Structure 1
Amino acid sequence: MAQPDANMIGLGATLYPSTQPTAWYSPSKRFAFGFFPEGSGFKVGIWIVGSANNVTVWTAQRDDPAVLSSSNLGFIGGKLQLKDEQGQLHTIADPSPPASNACMLDSGNFVLYDQYKNTVWQSFTFPADTILGGQELDTGKELISSWSSTNHSSGRFRLKMQNDGNLVAYPVNTVDDSIDCYWTTGTVTNTETELKLTNFSGTLLLLNASDSEEIESVASPLSRVNGSLYRATLGYDGNFRLFSHSFDAEGKSNMSTEWEAIADLCDVKGFCGYNSYCSRINGEPKCFCMPGYSFIDLNETSGDCERNFTGSKCILGKEDASHINMTSLNVGCDDRPYFLAPMREKEDCNHSCLEDCDCDAAIYSEPTCSKYKLPLKYLKNTTSTVSSTAFFKLSIDINRNQNGDTQKQPWSTILALSLSFVTYSCIILAVFTIFIFKFHIMKYRKLLFETKTTGLIKEFTLRTYTYNELKKATKGFNRELGKGGFGAVHKGTFDKGRSFVAVKRLEKVVEEGEREFRAEMRVIGKTRHRNLVRLLGYCIEGSKRLLVYEYMSNGSLSDLLFKGQWRPNWDDRVRIALDVARGILYLHEECESAIIHCDIKPQNILLDESWRAKISDFGLAKLLMPDQTRTNTHARGTRGYMAPEWNKNIPISVKVDIYSFGIVLLEMVCCRRNLEFNLLRPEETLLSAWAYKCFEAKELDKLIRGEEVDRRTFERMLTVALWCIQDEPALRFPIRTVMMMLEGIINVPIPPCPSDEFNVQY
């Protein structure tokens, strides 16, 4: 590509969101790189100048929050860095060797050059949702759709150039499985293949990566106009389209849609959320909740739906039919059922689901009956050429008949109520006994505490710090150790460098008074255990909230597992796993009031100078979410470690920590992240799914990968992890049972498949 010196950008050049210069332009002024408005702030990206609403073709750090007008973008020290309103630096490009010049090219590619005019970084290498003329999508790379037309964060769909030569569209957060595919070129060449949009003709081609020989033409423009620009974009609705942009004498762009992969958007899997189906109304796709369900967010009609009735009871393995009814729609499902069998009549399929405790919906497509569990996905109205009937389970009022008279309770219900009464009576008696026992224990502990020395009282007293003390100890907060969900952590020193602390600056905490914050600190300060990071003190001045912890010299478990040059040995990983389990056991069952951590992950497990594992950030969930007992819209945690119930409007419990610990345990056992892309075998992308498949097939050697481990301990820890990550919270064992299983005190039973998405049995 040509590199016009007249348009070169030199070191020291700076852009601003609302004052000139706000962008760097290509020689033809058809592309610009710089700040563009999004929501109430600004993001950095590339757009087509003169197009309606400035069509954005690339966004830097698209999933980061928008910045304010006081930010700036600088080409300094050979790097491209964004400084936000708080003065924090975010690196967009850090090439090696460092760049000396930059240029926005007429192709839409933003390029950094070294002192010899060699390209050291370019935006074309990191596509977002679009490829432009002359750009390629290499083998293994993906386009990720934007969230909406005005929000360029990562959206709900992805288009992948697979290693087998096939170009395939999937919903995000899925593995490369044919059941999730909704569009493909069908070009399985088993050779490295790349997708290229030609610069002048605007043709989308699949090429052999080794010799650039054409394999197949995917799409071409309907007509060609000289001087047009072409782009291929995966839209926020999941459709892959080819656009052309022609320009008039004033430089205004006229956009035309030249080709689109999918004619009916209801064919896009994931266009509608869980428990909803897609139907065309006046030619436009629209999402509707299943009967008996309603949208979780009424403003998001392509989102998930939740059940608005209570399920019935399951007695002796069968559904209590007096509690439920079935309704039908002409709807089909492209997801895998958990049951599939031939049936003569659709009434037989209806009745089979009605009696099945696991069945929430059934679809009869002659002569086959398919049964499904919640959540249901990939539902859509069937066409006139396809005969398919869906039956959905609903609740009915069993206390009234059609005339409004009270019905007689069936014997099965009476039996169930009697058993429930006896069970609850036993539970109340047990709780009362435990209460009396604990009362005496607490009385004894109080007496013991009152006899302790003043030195012990001092040990359990939190110190209050001033903001200036902590600012001086951290050298102006310039010694950052890391950054998490609650804020940045800085290294501090006291006693002339003889003692070290970690200072956490809390961000985005709920607005609360000084008294309430001090009360929360006292609760956390009383929580002491050898496997919990100790809180030493805190600072509260105005809106500033800072916490002071003991310093953990050996970093986090995440660094040890994923960033080190050597893999920690097996015995150390077993010991660390037991340390973490003991810490969770204390939080759940042994401290004064039970604490749900809500964010167990390797980054929150720290290692002291003796390599003992300690859990950090416990008790802080209330600072971001006042009520830990329900999720509502305040889901906490980190994606990949969050239990499924966070995404449902149901109460949460300590079982969310069990799920997160299960994922961490899997990562420790296999010494890799739960989700890894660009692997040679796509089936290994999601560790939790792949681990269960290896366990089920008795192929543990694939997970061990030649490492020297205690095989019995390896299998035991893997099995415990699979129990911990069960979708159903009731199937996850309490942490005390998990501890005894890990220590080999009790046997570990064979776990079921953790999720229906992992292993579907027909």
Structure 2
Amino acid sequence: MASPTLFFIFSLVFLHVMFVLGNITLSSTLSTNDNDAWLSPSGEFAFGFRQLNSTNLFVVAIWYDKIPAKTIVWNAKANETLATAPAGSQVQLTLEGLTLTSPKGESIWKAQPSVPLSYGAMLDTGNFVLVNKNSTFEWESFKNPTDTLLPNQFLELDGKLTSRLQDTNYTTGRFQLYFQNGVLLLSPLAWPTQLRYRYYYRIDASHSASRLVFDELGNIYVERVNGTRIRPQGPTWGNSSLDPKEYYYRATLEFNGVFTQYAHPRTNNAYQGWTIMRYVPGNICTAIFNEYGSGSCGYNSYCSMENDRPTCKCPYGYSMVDPSNEFGGCQPNFTLACGVDVKAQPEELYEMHEFRDFNFPLGDYEKKQPYSQQECRQSCLHDCICAMAVLGGNTCWMKRLPLSNGRVIHVNDQHFVYIKTRVRRDFYDPGANEELPPGADSKKEDGAKPILLGSLIGSLVFISISMLLCAVSWFILLKPKLTRLVPAIPSLLETNLHSFTYETLEKATRGFCEEIGRGSFGIVYKGQLEAASCNVIAVKRLDRLAQEREKEFRAELSAIGKTCHKNLVRLIGFCDEGINRLLVYEFMSNGTLADILFGQSKAPIWNTRVGLALGIARGLLYLHEECDSAIIHCDIKPQNILIDEHFNAKISDFGLAKLLLFDQTRTNTMIRGTRGYVAPEWFKNIAVTVKVDVYSFGVMLLEIICCRRNVLTMEAEEEEKVILTDWAYDCYIEGRNIDALVENDEEALSDNGRLEKWIKIAFWCINENPEVRPTMGMVMLMLEGFVEVPNPPPPFSMHSIS
């Protein structure tokens, strides 16, 4: 009796194994809620969901399943965008194809051949295929690669590999491998677009290439039309000994732009890890040399090869823009601009630091010859545009920000790099990069430091005690008078803001004669300082009642005085003299976003509008999530977005801004903002959060997309179009063609995927419930395509916010 039972159990187990490891039948599904995957017969490869790090998002992927790293070799992408799926999503194989859907049944990604399918299969080669009734592959992952090739895989002339953005970020990145006119090329991309810059590596098959081959033995070569083979050339691509029986192989276009072949032992008792076998180009730091783009590293950083991989470093006085992204570029830890201080000499504001072992060979705006070391240093020091000077022999190249194509070089007796930074105000320099060697000048001073240190500390102690006694006496005797005469501005102690005299600003503006705009509580005038080469300024003169003026003045100083971001208008200084309260800003030559969108007969082109929207979003993200204390702007609208000469958008007019302390999420305040951009919670008896800015951004995003104001007069337009947010949502929900929203803008319509996605983002932002609105961090991820945008709920309802 036992034998039939055992046979039955064995049969069930066998059938289960064959189901899991064999062909995938129609109607089969995988869900993020399960741990299941479709395995190849050998179990070496798996197809299924992989969770993205530290998120609730998943991607559909293929990976090596027998090694601990579970290395991903393919992932699903829709129109060059990573197809991310929320928890609860599923993949289903049907007669029509393979479809990834959200928990609500919305389609996220699909592989949909034109011929009905019979089954799917995960093959031992790592190729996932969809097969018709004639056993022909109708779709296969090998024909739709992402960043990796496997043995037995070919890259055809119309195929390409695109790197991921970071090592653990599978979003489309900055480099691409592709064929052009029969030549295999590696090029940087103008990220986040697909525009290719000049190539940095090529395999020239005399314009007769037919495909890139990764054969079953692990060899990689370009195959010509006549069948001859051309292998990659270079000292880092040798004729390695290959043994596919002992090793797994893969070839990946890495996020850093290096095309690399890796090997991993098949046996579990061997060292488990991928090792670099060979790669091209040999030195990507010097291989990339383009007029456009940042180079192999991000802007203001320089590249060096270490352990066969490029690494990026910041110059002295600079730090990573994003500490988690080494290749994301660097930013100065100080203010470097023109017209900061009209009285001080450059030597009082800046200092020069000498280095020898790196260079930024492009981006020169001035060349001076013959020049000595001292002349080169001084020339940069006295030029407010200059961020760095490089001396080669007797030629001095002057460079401004941003710096590009940085790379390490061999130390040369004729090569000197001079970096300009702010003079240190205390004994701790937050701008120093401790990993970098000190400059040549600083080495000369090292011997004197121990001798001076003792006397310096003694002097400091004596001076500190004396100043403390004086301060206590002064505070007790004079505090009442001081409070009445000079309002305190404690935040200025932590900034580099310059205190201007009223006479200086009156002279700079020629008696406040040229009005260029009106902000909250004041009029803005154009001015010109005398003592700087880059000297055009904008001066806001506060002109309301004393109490309102004082609040405006303090709010603007406290909100923007300690901020530093390329998408915020820079506050240069102030005047706090008698009854006069003035704020001095950098001048924006292209006016406001309102001028550009609504004040011209021809709207700016779509790509320009895209750049402006992204810039505004980055500025708001900085205010909400990257400042020491979150800042609610409270009056985001096109009139408060200024445009500089390079068409960068910068947020201005912080007069209504509210600061949130680090342990706050909400603040109580009176109604603020401008009609048409004000979030509904301003009119309810609830505290407001940074989500009020998100609402205003959503309204403005629709204005940028449609190039029209949110609120129009009924005389000018049809009644249904008077309120843009209402009309746009009606068009969206009724399934109308979006041509009407962009008035047949061909450039916008050609970018249909982004257009529809951004319209949905705007609706999420203007939802009347602040809890439903995304944060600016999430908005940024959706705008840049890192996160899929689900269909938005209705932004308006008849229900109150609870």
Task: Tell me the TM-score normalised to structure 2 length.
Answer: 0.52
Q: Aligned letter for 1:60?
A: A
TM superposition shift of 1:74: 0.5
Supply the distance in 1 between the matched residues of 2:511 and 2:204 (Cα, whole angstroms): 61
What corresponds to 2:156 in structure 1?
A: 138
Supply the distance in 2 between the matched residues of 1:357 and 1:175 (Cα, whole angstroms): 33
**SS of 1:353 mapped into structure 2:** helix
What corresponds to 2:418 in structure 1?
A: 391
Match runs of 1:100-139 below 5 Å: 100-139=118-157
2:52 is the counterpart of 1:52: no
2:316 is the counterpart of 1:291: yes
What corresponds to 2:94 in structure 1?
A: 76
Q: Aligned letter for 2:354?
A: S
**SS of 2:99 mapped into structure 1:** strand
Supply the distance in 2 between the matched residues of 1:434 and 1:82 (Cα, whole angstroms): 55
Q: Aligned letter for 1:419?
A: K
Supply the distance in 2 between the matched residues of 1:68 and 1:619 (Cα, whole angstroms): 19
2:334 is the counterpart of 1:309: yes
2:287 is the counterpart of 1:199: no
Cα contact 2:351–2:421 (8 A) shared by 1: yes
Q: Aligned letter for 2:403?
A: L
TM superposition shift of 1:25: 1.9
Deviation readout 1:5-61 (Å, 9 max, x if unpaired): 9933221111233436x2222222222212233324432111112123111110112
Match of 2:207 among 190, 205, 208: 190
What corresponds to 1:213 in structure 2?
A: 228
Supply the distance in 1 between the matched residues of 2:270 and 2:24 (Cα, whole angstroms): 23
TM superposition shift of 1:354: 3.7
**SS of 1:393 mapped into structure 2:** strand
Q: Aligned letter for 2:93?
A: F
TM superposition shift of 1:397: 8.3
Count of aligned pairs = 507
Cα contact 1:625–1:634 (8 A) shared by 2: no
TM superposition shift of 1:185: 3.5
Residues 601 and 108 (structure 1), Cα distance of their counterparts in 2 relative to 1, 3 Å cut: closer
2:508 is the counterpart of 1:420: yes
TM superposition shift of 1:87: 2.8
Supply the distance in 2 between the matched residues of 1:268 and 1:625 (Cα, whole angstroms): 49
What corresponds to 2:26 in structure 1?
A: 11
**SS of 1:189 mapped into structure 2:** coil
Residues 71 and 282 (structure 1), Cα distance of their counterparts in 2 relative to 1, 3 Å cut: closer
Deviation readout 1:420-454 (Å, 9 max, x if unpaired): 3645476599989999xxx9xxxxxxxxxxxxxxx
What corresponds to 1:88 in structure 2?
A: 106
2:212 is the counterpart of 1:29: no
Supply the distance in 2 between the matched residues of 1:102 and 1:549 (Cα, whole angstroms): 36
TM superposition shift of 1:94: 0.8
TM superposition shift of 1:129: 0.9
Q: Aligned letter for 1:28?
A: S
**Long gaps (5+) in structure 1:** 405-411, 440-483, 486-509, 539-545, 568-598, 607-614, 641-762
Cα contact 2:118–2:132 (8 A) shared by 1: yes
Cα contact 2:393–2:415 (8 A) shared by 1: yes
Q: Aligned letter for 1:17?
A: T
Residues 260 and 281 (structure 1), Cα distance of their counterparts in 2 relative to 1, 3 Å cut: closer
Cα contact 1:558–1:603 (8 A) shared by 2: no
Deviation readout 1:297-332 (Å, 9 max, x if unpaired): 3444443322333334369x9x97454443232221
CA RMSD of aligned residues (A): 5.6
Cα contact 2:175–2:186 (8 A) shared by 1: no
What corresponds to 2:711 in structure 1?
A: 527
Deviation readout 1:120-151 (Å, 9 max, x if unpaired): 11111211110111222233543222234433
Supply the distance in 2 between the matched residues of 1:87 and 1:550 (Cα, whole angstroms): 17
What corresponds to 2:401 in structure 1?
A: 374
Residues 212 and 349 (structure 1), Cα distance of their counterparts in 2 relative to 1, 3 Å cut: farther
Supply the distance in 1 between the matched residues of 2:62 and 2:87 (Cα, whole angstroms): 18
TM superposition shift of 1:563: 10
Supply the distance in 2 between the matched residues of 1:320 and 1:190 (Cα, whole angstroms): 60
Residues 247 and 114 (structure 1), Cα distance of their counterparts in 2 relative to 1, 3 Å cut: same
Supply the distance in 2 between the matched residues of 1:84 and 1:550 (Cα, whole angstroms): 19
Residues 429 and 151 (structure 1), Cα distance of their counterparts in 2 relative to 1, 3 Å cut: closer
Supply the distance in 1 between the matched residues of 2:778 and 2:512 (Cα, whole angstroms): 32
**SS of 2:299 mapped into structure 1:** coil
Supply the distance in 1 between the matched residues of 2:307 and 2:219 (Cα, whole angstroms): 32
2:511 is the counterpart of 1:328: no
Cα contact 2:203–2:222 (8 A) shared by 1: no
What corresponds to 1:240 in structure 2?
A: 259
Supply the distance in 2 between the matched residues of 1:296 and 1:186 (Cα, whole angstroms): 35
Overall identity of the aligned pairs, in %: 24
Task: Tell me the TM-score normalised to structure 1 length.
Answer: 0.54
Cα contact 2:22–2:40 (8 A) shared by 1: yes
Residues 379 and 414 (structure 1), Cα distance of their counterparts in 2 relative to 1, 3 Å cut: farther
Q: Aligned letter for 1:290?
A: P
Cα contact 1:146–1:152 (8 A) shared by 2: yes
Deviation readout 1:532-554 (Å, 9 max, x if unpaired): 9455999xxxxxxx989896844
Supply the distance in 2 between the matched residues of 1:278 and 1:53 (Cα, whole angstroms): 28
Cα contact 2:338–2:385 (8 A) shared by 1: no
What corresponds to 1:337 in structure 2?
A: 364
Residues 553 and 144 (structure 1), Cα distance of their counterparts in 2 relative to 1, 3 Å cut: closer
What corresponds to 1:516 in structure 2?
A: 681
Match of 2:250 among 219, 223, 231: 231
Match runs of 1:559-570 below 5 Å: 560=744
**SS of 2:92 mapped into structure 1:** strand
Supply the distance in 2 between the matched residues of 1:357 and 1:564 (Cα, whole angstroms): 39
Match of 1:359 among 383, 386, 390: 386
Cα contact 1:333–1:380 (8 A) shared by 2: yes
Supply the distance in 2 between the matched residues of 1:336 and 1:18 (Cα, whole angstroms): 51
Match of 2:58 among 35, 42, 66: 42
Supply the distance in 2 between the matched residues of 1:262 and 1:547 (Cα, whole angstroms): 53
Cα contact 1:129–1:144 (8 A) shared by 2: yes
What corresponds to 1:261 in structure 2?
A: 280
**SS of 2:117 mapped into structure 1:** coil
Deviation readout 1:254-308 (Å, 9 max, x if unpaired): 7443212255675575553222234578998654333333333344444332233
**SS of 2:398 mapped into structure 1:** strand
Cα contact 2:765–2:773 (8 A) shared by 1: no
2:301 is the counterpart of 1:276: yes
**SS of 1:10 mapped into structure 2:** coil
Match of 1:160 among 172, 178, 182: 178
